[in-house]
Amino acid sequence: MKTAPTISIGICGLGTVGQGVWKHIERARPELEARLGAQLVLARASVQNLKKKRDVTLKPEQLTTDPLSIATDPSIQIVCELIGGTTIARQVTLAALKLGKTVISANKALLCAHGPEVFSTARKHGGRFFFEASVAGGIPIIKALREGLVANRFRRIYGILNGTCNYILTRMEREGLAYPVILKEAKELGYAEADESLDVEGWDTAHKASVLAYLAHGTWVSTRQMVVEGITQLTQPDLTFARENGYAIKLLAVIERDLERDVLSVGVYPALLPITKAIANVNEVYNGISVSGDIVGETTYIGRGAGQDPTASAVIGDIIDAASQLVRGGTYLPTAPATKLALTPPAALRSRHYLRLDVKDQPGVLAKIANCTAKAGVSIASLVQRPSEKPEAASLLLTTHECSEAQIRLTVARLARHSCVLGKPLLLRIADF
Amino acid sequence: MKTAPTISIGICGLGTVGQGVWKHIERARPELEARLGAQLVLARASVQNLKKKRDVTLKPEQLTTDPLSIATDPSIQIVCELIGGTTIARQVTLAALKLGKTVISANKALLCAHGPEVFSTARKHGGRFFFEASVAGGIPIIKALREGLVANRFRRIYGILNGTCNYILTRMEREGLAYPVILKEAKELGYAEADESLDVEGWDTAHKASVLAYLAHGTWVSTRQMVVEGITQLTQPDLTFARENGYAIKLLAVIERDLERDVLSVGVYPALLPITKAIANVNEVYNGISVSGDIVGETTYIGRGAGQDPTASAVIGDIIDAASQLVRGGTYLPTAPATKLALTPPAALRSRHYLRLDVKDQPGVLAKIANCTAKAGVSIASLVQRPSEKPEAASLLLTTHECSEAQIRLTVARLARHSCVLGKPLLLRIADF
């Protein structure tokens, strides 16, 4: 009698997600093994603290504090790197790939910082690298881009990739409360990290945008090559203006490829998105991604982007794909040939804009503002004046016609120097997708 | 020097979709071949009329009127069955699979009628069968269900699977025009077939629901085992009522599995869906599918469901998957073990309902209606009376609290027999998802 092959799995980093993976594999094991025609062995896991209480029960000999010992364990074929960060995670990933093992990763920061090294190590040593969980955990977006939509060139990919920011923006929008108030509550509820800067300044979104851009276009774009702006300057008047004018404000990653000139741009910023777009209606901790292909047109994907269960669902999807390849052969299609597309300089990007200025409530101020924008060739499309929270001041909420990033930045810099302008102007893009 | 392997493709049915596949493979060939490490040869195609003018140019010897000759051509490895229907399409599919070939299909009607035969033939002879294009063309939903979300059991899958119906409903909603007017225009614009019944009566949606239910649950449910209702009875008062009460009316496929009792139900019907749901905002020819997994939670997928380009995108995705397996080995994971789940009897399904009655505008009518519903144990949740288009009549628009399908059908049958009720009542489900 032929015995079923065995696939042995090690988990580096038995935190929230790691425990979810362990738990759900145990639950779904009979069906998964029947479909795979193989036994799944949860072999070992690494932790920081051996004594901490966990959701899942492991024998003492299955636990280690040394993740590298799992990465290099000859009995383990699939290594899940769920440690995070770019130091130990990088060591673990490279060590396993060098031994020709399969690595499953949820680590967008590692990919963004060391993607080319990870992929070339895998190629050189016959290792396999899977990373569905690194972007928008609950949404099988990487599989969609790499396989389902393989016939397409992607004109535009944009979406909400950070659940924490979307949760904060949704609550600001619904409850009319200020950013610091909601941030504090989000921290108390565990929806935001103690140090929230990675999320709210846009860096987590930028890491994910980098991974998606590589997948879709074969080009690694570092966060230094992107415009990256966060949500910390947004106020209620901005949200109200957006709503009243048919928009929602969302922190977007935007990856655009001009198929005619074959240049790429990647940016992360809060933008006014028409409420008619599905992405504008993605709320709370959900992520949403719109993918426009030259053949398929626009497709949209929505799901929870982080948290134990959605991320575990993605990691297990990768584990089963990997196990299936180990049992039945095959490899996934390589990503698009690394063409090293040229990047559009951020200054050359064109958009309509929204601008909020607090100004002294005096005669002649409007004329000064209008002069200043006109000089830079920026044309005002709409203007409303509202009472400001500051004394003897007014808020001016402007929208512009399309102009370049260089023009609008020059305008804002000049406006900020005007004595009648109080504080720093807020500039947002209007995403007329 | 090692030469790249060759993958030879035959297209049975060079209609709109077939020409799209041919055209887009030609365009994307350099990149696809580089990624595959193989040459793609578009070998032959079958047509009904050899002399018809086409978008793509084939040599005379590449064209045949005999699709079976392509299915059995020893030089062809991948056979795309794009003929449609269940007669010749079945012969072609089975003939190719019996020879161990790969078949790519967009044919939901064939799958719904002969799915078990198709899959068992593939298994028996080592053929491969791919069918991403059969449901919601532009959306890689089959890949998502079968691979990305493999860790999950699916409590509920529901959505809009027919672009023609969604186009008609969207235009009725936006323009306030009656169903027959919009249908006529849709036909003139090519958005509806000359014989529209397959679409508007819900059968096309039912075929697709059957495919999704099989993929998600390993059980074939025939259209005879489903409630299947179409959109032909919908009127402006229904759409207005829905909008005013926070709903959109959409033709939905609904696949629900009770994970505790492990029973399945599949139905197709127009329903009132809360406008807060992403699917309620899927308009025009777009399809949208919501998938709720026990681990991942709710994920949503939106894209164009039919037409040359979205369907071609899906067919090419399958061709590349298949070619990758032929070149590098591997097979896709088998679908969930066929557990032959029990089906919930339609009469036992529970829901809230919307009911439109045209009644004589006379004293005592309301009391009669209320008595009739009360007798069946159906509790009215809301009631409005509106002027009817019929003379000396009123329209009653009711919603009920949750009750069983058996209860509400009994109620409607009794109401229809009342002398004060004019014409056939309209019954819709309220999808409180």
DSSP A279-300: GGG--TTEEEEEEEETTTEEEE
Mention the CATH class of domain B6-138+308-328. alpha beta
Beta bridge partners of B368: none
Q: Report the CATH fold assignment for B346-430.
A: Alpha-Beta Plaits (3.30.70)
C-alpha span between B32 and A262 (Å, rounded): 18
> How does residue A2 score in pLDDT terms, banded at 50, 70 and 90?
low
Q: What is the DSSP string of B143-202?
A: HIIIIITTT--EEEEEEE--HHHHHHHHHHHHH---HHHHHHHHHHTTSS-SS-HHHHTS
- CATH second-level architecture of A349-430? 2-Layer Sandwich (3.30)
Q: What is the DSSP string of A294-338?
A: TTTEEEEEEEE-SSHHHHHHHHHHHHHHHHHHHHHB--PPPPSP-
Q: How far is CA B5 from CA B31, B36, B40, B77, B96, in A?
A: 16, 10, 9, 12, 21
Which residues in chain A have their CB less than 8 angstroms from residue B143's CB? Answer: 140, 143-144, 147-148
The pLDDT tens digits of the residues spanning A43-77 come to: 999 999 999 999 899 999 999 999 999 999 999 99
What would the two tokens of residue A396 be? 């001016």
| Percent with pLDDT over 90 in chain A | 88
Helix, strand, coil abundance in chain B, percent, nearest 5: 40, 25, 30
Model pLDDT, residue B182: 96
Domains A141-304 and A349-430 share a fold: no
The pLDDT tens digits of the residues spanning A190-205 come to: 888 888 999 999 999 9
To the nearest whole angstrom, how far is the Cα of A70 from the nearest Cα of chain B?
24
Q: Which residues contact B291 (CB under 8 A, 6 or more apart)?
A: B141, B144, B145, B149, B154, B156, B157, B298, B299, B300, B301
What would the two tokens of residue B79 be? 């056979």
Q: What is the DSSP string of A369-427?
A: HHHHHHHTTPPEEEEEEEE-SSTTEEEEEEEE-SEEHHHHHHHHHHHHHSTTEEEEEEE
Mean pLDDT by runs of 10 across the 433 residues of chain B is 86 96 96 93 96 93 97 98 96 98 96 95 95 94 94 97 97 96 93 91 97 94 95 96 97 95 95 96 97 97 94 97 93 74 91 95 91 93 90 94 95 93 95 92
The closest of B133, B134, B87 to B114, measured between CA atoms, is B87
Model pLDDT, residue B71: 98
Is B303–A281 a contact, with Cβ atoms under 8 angstroms apart? no
Asked if the model's pLDDT at residue A339 lies above 80, the reply is no
Beta bridge partners of B159: B253, B289
This complex has an ipTM of: 0.95
Q: Would you call B133 exposed, middle or buried from its count of C-beta atoms within 10 A (0-12, 13-18, 19+)?
A: buried
Is B309–A321 a contact, with Cβ atoms under 8 angstroms apart? no
Asked if the model's pLDDT at residue A41 lies above 70, the reply is yes
DSSP H helical segments within A61-162, as ranges? Answer: 67-71, 88-98, 108-125, 141-143
Nearest CA in chain B to A34: B337
Which residues in chain A have their CB less than 8 angstroms from residue B280's CB? Answer: none
DSSP designation for B35: H
Residue-range domain boundaries for chain B: 6-138+308-328, 141-304, 346-430
* Structure-derived torsion over alpha carbons of residues B419, B424, B425, B430, reported in degrees to the nearest 10: 160
To the nearest whole angstrom, how far is the Cα of A288 from the nearest Cα of chain B?
9
Q: Are B12 and B82 in contact (CB under 8 A)?
A: yes
The closest of A205, A351, A359, A354 to A289, measured between CA atoms, is A205
The pLDDT tens digits of the residues spanning B397-433 come to: 999 999 999 999 999 999 999 999 999 999 999 999 8
Q: Which residues contact B345 (CB under 8 A, 6 or more apart)?
A: none
Of A36, A149, A313, Cβ closest to residue B293: A313
Which residues in chain A have their CB less than 8 angstroms from residue B327's CB? Answer: none
C-alpha span between A121 and A262 (Å, rounded): 28
Of A151, A281, A335, Cβ closest to residue B28: A151
What would the two tokens of residue A201 be? 């300044």
Q: Domain A141-304, CATH 3.40.50.1820 — does that match?
A: no
Q: Which of B153-165 are b and which e, b meaning 16 or more Cβ less than 10 Å from the residue's Cβ?
A: bbbebbbbbbbbb
Of B297, B302, B324, Cβ closest to residue A299: B302
C-alpha span between A4 and A21 (Å, rounded): 22
Nearest CA in chain A to B298: A303
Q: Which of A208-234 are b and which e, b meaning 16 or more Cβ less than 10 Å from the residue's Cβ?
A: bbbbbbbbbbbbbbebebbbbbbbbeb
Is A329–B333 a contact, with Cβ atoms under 8 angstroms apart? no
Size of interface A-B (CB pairs under 8 A): 184
- Give kind and range of the element (H or E) at residue A17: helix A16-36
Chain centroid to Cα A298, Å, comes to: 19
Of B150, B303, B335, Cβ closest to residue A297: B303
